[in-house]
Amino acid sequence: MDRWGLRRVVLTALALVAAAVALTTQMRAQWQLMVLWGVLVGSGTGVTSLVLAAIVATRWFEARRGLVIGALSAANATGQLIFLPLLARLVERDGWRAACALVAAAAVVVFALVLALMRDRPQDVGLRRYGEGSGEAATPPPSALAPQMKKVANKIQNTRVFAPSRNAPSAAAVIGAVLGGGAGSGSVQRAVGHQLDA
């Protein structure tokens, strides 16, 4: 994101998501689902995932970065809690193509908002990062945190849950499903199972 700029990367990702989801309404074969959702939508949403919150917090905030990341993560989860049931209702009433059209339209609206309002850095609009020079304790540099992080990582690694065992693959699968991978892959399997009908 440093090479091309945060705003440009987010706009490209949103355009990719909007185009791929819009094209989804026209798909008729399984390979189209794999390309559109597995590659294009996956790439676009991967760029705008929670990693984006960390980058925004680092660029715009000197103090209270953890609070900002927490708020952005909570906004992500809240959006899912609000919009997924509405989309499910739309699918039941009008079919999955209508839901895809709505998601594509929403991505276009967000694209316009990002184009109009988002900037790469606070300096682009004549501001400083929040908390910069205010005397609040800033986040220590990564080199200062390295010894502490190593201790924490060793403790986690040596716990019974994460110790190397025959259950490691199943533990990784559970963690992946809990962190968000399960819903998307299940949706793809169900769509393929229904032969993209509707």
Radius of gyration, CA atoms only, the chain: 20
Residue 108, pLDDT above cutoff 60: yes
The Cα–Cα gap between 94 and 188 comes to: 19
Mean pLDDT, residues 139-144: 57
Among candidates 72, 42, 31, 36, which has minimal Cα distance to 54? 72
Q: How confident is the model at residue 15 (pLDDT cuts 50, 70, 90)?
A: very high
What one-character DSSP code corresponds to residue 50?
A: H
pLDDT of amino acid 91: 95
* 49 vs 94, residue with greater confidence: 94
Per-residue pLDDT, 140: 55
